[in-house]
Amino acid sequence: MKKNFETKFTGWSFIVAALLLWGGWALSPHHIGEYIKASDFTAIGEDVWYWIWMYRIHIFGWVTMAIALFALVSTVGRKPYRVVILPGAGMVIIGTFTLAIAAAYYYNFG
């Protein structure tokens, strides 16, 4: 594999996305489960701005992951393999953006 701007950008994008996803989740003072319970509000309310920023970092990790996947596909999606790579990568990228939008909705409206 050639070391050029494309491969360096793709690799660093994946590393940054992983750090944002993991860091936002791991450093969050309270983890909400599948459903919001009344006890979640009191736990989040203890340090609400810190929790909001950690959740934002986690959401931006999903967006960065989609960017990294798109960069990977644009690097390796050449003939004859693009017939297999593009549909699968498209579904993963759309799913990643859907997770980011769902997390943002959950963050705003619960």
Give the Å distances, CA to CA, from 12 to 22, 64, 74, 79, 96. Answer: 15, 10, 15, 25, 18
Among 20-29, 61-70, 74-83, the least confident range: 74-83
Count CB atoms within 10 A of the CB of residue 18: 14
pLDDT digits (tens, 9 = 90+) for 6-28: 999 999 999 999 999 999 989 98
Q: Residue range 81-101: average pLDDT?
A: 88
**Which residue has tokens 């950690």?**
54
- Given a cut of 80, whether residue 106 has pLDDT beyond it is no
How many Cα atoms sit within 13 Å of 69 on the Cβ side? 20
Report phi then psi at 5, rounded to 5: -60, -40
Domain boundaries, the chain: 5-109
What does the mean pLDDT of the chain come to? 87
